[in-house]
Structure formats: structure tokens, C-alpha cells
Amino acid sequence: MTSFQSTIGDEEGIAEELAEGQREISIAEFFEKNKHMLGFDSGARGLVTAVKEAVDNALDATEEAGVLPDIYIEIEEVGDYYRLVIEDNGPGITKEQLPKVFGKLLYGSRFHAREQSRGQQGIGISAAVLYSQLTSGQPAKITSRPKGQSRAQYFELIIDTDTNEPEIKADEETTWDRPHGTRIELEMEANMRARNQLHDYVKHTAVVNPHARLELREPGLDEPLKFERATDELPAETKEIRPHPHGVELGALIKMLEATESYSVSGFLQGEFTRVGKKTADSVIDNFRDVYYGRELAWSPPRAHDDRDVANAVADAVANKGAEATTAFAEGVAETVSNSDRLSRSELATIVDNIAETVEGDTGKTFGGTVRENAVDAAWRAITGAGGEDDDGADDDEDGATESPLVADAYALVDDATSTRKDDAAVRAMAEALARRFENLDGDAFRATLDDLERLVADAASFVAEQHDATFGETARENVVEAFWSRARTVPDDPPKVKSIAGSRDAAADLLEAMRTTDILAPPTDCLAPITEELVEAGLRKEYDADFYAAATRDAEVHGGDPFIVEAGIAYGGEIPAEGSVELLRFANRVPLVYQRGACATTDVIKNIGWRNYGLDQPGGSGLPNGPAVISIHVASTNVPFTSESKDALANVPEIEDEIELAVREAARELKSFLNKRRSMQQRREKQDVLGRILPEMADKVSEVTGRSRPDIDGALARIMNNVSVEREVTDETVTLVVENHSDVNEQLEITDIVSSEPTDLSDGTVVDMDGEWFVQWKPEVPSGDERELTYAIDGDADFEVSVGGVETEKLTVNA
């Protein structure tokens, strides 16, 4: 080829000329060209990305080791550069691994694992190292002390940009006060213009990792920012899972087929995929057979008195077995055949085998393979008119006197599958055309894939349209195909072995199709570690001083074979600024997403929710809502679909978007009922305030005008407010608390009266003596519009102090 190409035209040596310009691209050049994709497009952003990569690694490492993370971040100005230090209390990295982890791009443990983790690609931290060395010329300084070792190992290393291998500049033992962990120090050209994003990143990391303790020092802070942990509970450990059959692509499948040690497809499926057992493997294989081999069409056997005589045909085909055995065999086959509704050739072969075994047992005659084959051929010919010597006979002439037995069968199916308005002649023409085409199929077993069948029916339909001017529309054709396909039988052939599938792209594609069309359980979710509803809320509670918190964790769902879980949380009110739009916190596998908010699927979902329904202000009825609220969304998955390598924004995957919406709505419903309640309580308070002022004045005025003394208006007030009123009446030695419920619901109250002298004769309730004070307690249920009297007796004077629980203070009027 090369020599041919190089002689094109008159110019010589173009390929050589081109070849001179072709060389390996160094990793440094690649990085330089693609640093925006990796999040290092500016000094400001580079610093945030470096912190993010280091902290993500630290969190992954500590969690994996079952250690509560304790992470220290420090940024210092050093001359023209910034020095970044990240320390963690993780398990440390062995001396052997350490240079590669930090000094080689695309080296990592995560890329091939189906497990939820922050890092996925093995680019992040080494990209930060490379960025630092390219901008400042300084090596990365790394200290690591594996758990249980008395001393730590100190490295200085740079990445050899030609070979993508670490180059160790210093390697020495050192002491470190942390018992175990890793410390990385990078110097880089940077600036602090992205301080807000940095703070957001650290704060949001704290929100979504309530089990982590974080500390941030940077030049702009007088005091270090400290985020304490809200729980001592580590996230559930995640398990690595095998791929799900619905989530692999053809290339990956071929690779797996090549690599597997399994011999059979069934073993391969069960061994390499999650959620595939014997039964599922069998269904996949059945589907695979249908795609790969096609099905065998099945036909009705002749009924009694039909001139197609299976018994005679079989008897004729058998020679030298004696009359008795021959008759038993022939009649046995004929009877079994006539008992079945429809038969494929493979089924017929099975019947023949069975009968042969039985007759052999009864008569002692041997029915060998050839005899059986002849019998099958003969019987099949009797049933379908196909195969054997008849193939080249004159019977098959299209206008021949003898009609193929297939036609009647096909006629019944076509007639059944098409609308009743179809002309009988057209149906017959179609049946005949189909029968002819079936007879022309390779072999005499009538094997066809679904595709073949569709083609065949379409062909027959166009023939009928041409010859008989009768149209079989698309729906009619589909129905006919379905009628034949559903009555066709999956072939009993063994599927090809794994090796041969691996060697054939078409076969592998057939297997993939079979896997995709089989119903298979969703992947297990123990590979995911959701934050959980409680901790989503606890995280928000820790970092936002709000009046209300809600959270929701959805059940796991699947996108492209990868399981995922969506969680949402909402904080509202309190110290959250009320101006402008709500704060949206986005997380993927517990990593905050700081950049590209507008390109993120989460943002799209939030914008499309009608927030007015949930009590938030939303100008124009769409877009980000306004108000003092924080909405946090966490997507955990074994494979989070990002829009780019820098992992800033979630891609718009419909399954994930749906779940995000459901999770957010779930939390928002709680917000709505909180806001409704608060609004109604506020209105009630306002009403109470105003009426509490107006009605006494009105009472004063009417008593003035009428010249009577001021009336008691508490009863009227309680009634107006639909309140529960508690009023004390003391007569001689009897104390009565009258509880009236003016509200429209039944109230379950807890009333405690603290009395300074000993109460006796309680009307139910309990009394506890507490150092000379008596606590009398009742828990009455007062139906709407009803009242209860709670009484006790005292000896002489006493002081009282009543407290009422079980009802909001706004709904309570106490006069006791």
C-alpha cells in the first residue's frame, strides 16, 4: 500500500515527507493542549482544581481504610508562587506505589472498577503535579507514612514528560507526627481570584461528607476555616460489581469474550456479569439462538383422514424391522404428531427419537440413526411436503395441481392476523406466496431469523400487490410476521462456544443484542454509598443555620448498566440570605461540583420545576427560584456521566434527570407544608395581635356606652382564634381547669400544673412530688368543639403554674 501511495502523481516520497512530521506526542504537550479539559485552564482555577483533586484522593483513601477523614489544606504565598499543602490521615501509600500514583498520568485503581468512588480516571492528582512542575519548575514534595510504620517516607518527584514516568529527585526516610497518612506539597503559578469557589468547594465538601473534619488556611483568612464532623459514621463500604449485561458495549464485550476463561456462553455470562444466574443465562442464550440461528417455523400436522398419511410415510421409510415393530413405530410417531398442535422439524426429530427408544424397548429391534433420519424426513415430507426427493418434483409448480400443505396453514395464520375486511382471494394469494417463499428457504427445517421473516413477508406482500392488486399495509405485515414468529420454535442447537463468538464480530453483536433484549434485574446497589437522608440533612444543618431542613434519598435506578442513586436536600430560612436566587449545591459521588453550573443537568432540572407550587418565588414561573433556600443534589453512581473530563457538570441523561426531579420534589413537598404551616401560623399570629388589640378596645367602648362594667372577652377571643383555651376556676378548695377546644380538629393535650401545696382528689391524671412542689399532669383528648374539666382539691392557699403542651402556642389561650 505504501509503495502504491507513494507513487501517486509525480511527486515522490510524500509519505516519507509526512512521516518526518509524525512523532509521539509528549504527555506535557498533551496536557498543555488539554489543560482546560482537566480543570487547569487558569491560575485561579488551577489552584482550586489541585485542592479538589488532592482532597478527593484523601477522602477516598481514608474511607477505604475505614478511617474518619481529617484533612488539612494550606495555601501560602511564596514569592511569585503559591504553595499548596494537603495532609490526610489516610492509610498512606507504600514506597513502591507512591511515585507512580503521583508521578504518572492515567495510573490508578479506579478506572476499571465498577464501584462508587470520587476519582475515576487516574488523571487528577498527577495532573496537579504536572501543572505545578510546568509552572514553577519545582518538584512535588510528598510524605507518606503507611499505617504501622514507625517512620515516614519523603519523596521529591517530577514527571518525565517524554516517558510519562516519575523521576525521583529525593527519596529519604523522615519523621512525621501523624501516625499514618499522606502529605503533598505543590508549588505553582496561581492566584486567589477564585477564592469564593475554593471556599464553596471546601464548605460543600463538608456538607456532603458530614463524617469528615476539614481545615482550610489561606492568605486571605485571619482564622483558619474549620469544618467539624457531624457524625462518626463512615459511609457504607462499597463493593465492586461486575458489569451489568445492559451496560456493556460491543468492543468491551469482545474484549471480555477474549479474556474469559469460560468455555460456554452460559458460563461466560454467569461468570463475568452481575445479576446473571443460570435462568437468566438461559434466557439470554435462547434470545441469542433466535438472533443467531433464527427460529424454525412450525406447521400443523395432518388431522385424521387427511390424505397426508404420516404413518404410511414413516412405515415406508423403515425397512427390515419387521411388521410389528415398523407398525408400532409408524403409528406411535403418527399419533404423537397428530396430538400436537404445531410442529417444527426439530420437535419432530425429538418425537421420532422418543418413539424409537420406546419401540426399541418393547420389541428389541434397533432403530439406528439413519433409520430415524429417514423416518423424520418422510414424516416431515408428509406434514409439510418439503424436503427429500420432492424438492425437484413437478408438484411444486406454482400452478401445479397439488397444493403445498403449507398453504392451508399459512392461510389460517394470515387470515387470523389481518383485518376481517381483507379480500379472501388476497389472503389466499398471500398465503400461497408465503408458502412458496418458505419452501425456498435453505434446508427443509424452515429456519429464519426475525429479519429474514420480515423481509420474506414484505417480499410476498409486494408480490401480491403486483399480481393481485391487494395491499398488505405495514400493520398487516407486522401482524403476519408476529403470527409466524410467535408460532416458530427456538432451535435446540447448542450456541457457539465463547471462542468462536469472540472471533466473529457478527456473532458477538448477536449476543449483545440478545443480552439487551433479555429482562435482567437491575444491578445491585451495594456498590453505591448514598449519604442517606439523615446525613444529607445533618450536613446541611451543620453548615447552614436555617429554620427548616428536608432531605430525600431515592431508590437505586440504572442508566446504561450503571446503578445510581439520587439524593436531594433543602434548607430554608434562618441565616440563609433571602436576596437573589437560591443556592444550588451539586455533588457527584460526594464531590462538590463548583464550575459550569449552567451546563449541569441538575440546574436544568431545578429550573424546570414550578417552584411557586412549593412556596418559593420564581420570577416568570421557570428558572432558578428566589429566596432564602439551599438546594443540594447528590448523584452517586459507579459511573457518573459528566459533560467533560474536568468533571464540572452532569450530562443530561434522562434517567438521572427524572430521578433528580423526583428527589427534589420529594424534599420540596416537605418544604411546602412547612411554609404553608408557617404562613398560616404567621397569619394566625397577626390576626391574634390585631384582634388582641381591637376587641378589648371594643369591649371598653361598649361598656362605656352602656354604662356597664367591662365584660370578660377571653371566651370570645379563644372562639374567634379557633383556639384551645385553658381557664382556671378556684372555688373554696377545688381547683378546676376548664379546657375548651374551639378548633376544628381533635386536640391531644399535655397539661402540667405545678402547685405549691399538695393536691388531692385528682380527676384522673398523675401527681409527682418534687421537693415541696407538686406536678399534676393530665393528657386529655378534647374533641373539636368540646370541653373537659380537670379538677383537684387543695388545702388552703396555693400558687399555681400551668403549662400546656401538644398544641402550638399560637393556638393556645391560657388564662390560669
Partner 1 sequence: MTTESDARDELIDLAADFYDQFADGEIPEMTLPTRTKSNIEYDTESGVWTYGDRTSTRSANSVRGARKLLKAAYTIEFLAEQLDEDRSSTLRELYYLSESWDNDEAQFSSQDESNDLVEDLEIVTGVTREDFHMRPEESGATLMGPLLIREQTRRGEREIHCQEDVGAGGYQIPNNPDMIEFLDDDIDFALAVETGGMRDRLVENGFDEEYNCLVIHLKGQPARATRRITKRVHDELDVPIAVFADGDPWSYRIYGSVAYGSIKSAHLSKYLATPEAQFVGIQPEDIVEYDLPSDPLSDSDVNALESELEDPRFQTDYWEEQIELQLDIGKKSEQQSLASRGLDFVTDTYLPERLDAMGVL
Closest to partner 1 by CB, 679 vs 687, is: 687
* Whole-angstrom distance, CA of residue 558 vs CA of residue 566: 11
CB 725 within 8 A of CB 815: yes
Q: How far is the CB of 557 from partner 1 (least distance, A)?
A: 50
Q: Does 677 count as an annotated binding residue?
A: no
Asked whether residue 270 is marked as a ligand-binding residue, the answer is: no
Minimum CB separation of residue 678 from partner 1 in Å reads 19
Contact yes or no for 382/308 (Cβ under 8 A): yes
Query: Does 647 show up as a binding residue in the annotation?
Result: yes
For residues 475 and 683, which CB has a smaller minimum distance to partner 1 in the complex?
Answer: 683
CB 253, CB 288: distance < 8 Å: no
Q: What's the sign of the alpha-carbon dihedral 691, 693, 694, 696? A: positive
Q: What is the binding site for partner 1 (CB under 8 A)?
A: 686-687, 690-691, 693-695, 697-699, 701-706, 708, 711-716, 719-720
Q: How far is the CB of 615 from partner 1 (least distance, A)?
A: 23
For residue 622, say whether it is annotated as part of any ligand binding site: no
- Compute φ and ψ for 771, nearest 5 degrees: 50, 60
Taking the least distance from each CB to partner 1, the nearer of 8 and 698 is: 698
138 assigned to a ligand binding site: no
* Residue 126 is labelled as binding a ligand: yes
According to DSSP, the residues that pair with 802 across neighbouring strands are 753
Q: Show the beta-strand stretches assigned E in 366-493.
A: 447-448, 489-490
Q: For residues 595 and 586, is the Cβ–Cβ distance under 8 A?
A: no
For residue 431, count CB atoms less than 10 angstroms from its CB and return exposed for 0-12, middle for 13-18, buried for 19 or more. buried
Strands (E), 283-370: 295-296
First to last CA, the chain: 105
Instruction: Tell whether residue 153 is among the known ligand binding residues.
Output: no
CB of 753 to partner 1, least distance (A): 23
The dihedral over CA atoms of 19, 21, 22, 26, expressed in degrees to the nearest 10, equals: 160
Of the pair 3, 709, the CB lying nearest partner 1 is at 709
Q: Burial level of 577, CB count in 10 A (0-12/13-18/19+)?
A: exposed
Choose between 112 and 708: whose C-beta lies nearer to partner 1: 708
Is 104 annotated for ligand binding? no
Question: Residue 542 annotated as binding?
Answer: no
Q: Is 401 strand, coil or helix?
A: coil
How far, in Å, CA of 435 to CA of 451, rounded?
17
Provide the minimum distance between the beta carbon of 712 and partner 1 in the complex, in angstroms, as a whole number.
7
HSE at residue 366, side-chain half, CA atoms within 13 A, is 3
Output the smallest distance, CB 693 to partner 1, in A. 7
Q: 110 or 687: whose CB is closer to partner 1? A: 687
784 marked as binding residue: no
How far lies 140's CA from each of 54, 104, 334, 623, in Å? 12, 12, 85, 44
In whole angstroms, how close is the CB of 551 to partner 1 at the nearest point? Answer: 37
- The residue assigned the cell 377571643 is 717
- What is the SS3 assignment for 5? helix
- 57 is annotated as contributing to ligand binding: yes
Nearest one of 378, 356, 388 to 369, comparing CA atoms: 356
Q: How far is the CB of 707 from partner 1 (least distance, A)?
A: 9
Which of residues 237 and 712 has its CB atom nearest to partner 1 in the complex? Answer: 712
Q: What's the closest the beta carbon of residue 719 comes to partner 1, in angstroms?
A: 6
Per the annotation, does 712 bind a ligand? no
Is 339 or 706 the residue whose CB approaches partner 1 more closely?
706
Nearer of residues 440 and 706 to partner 1, judged by Cβ:
706
Binding residues: 57, 88, 109-110, 119-126, 647
Binding residues for ATP: 57, 88, 109-110, 119-126, 647
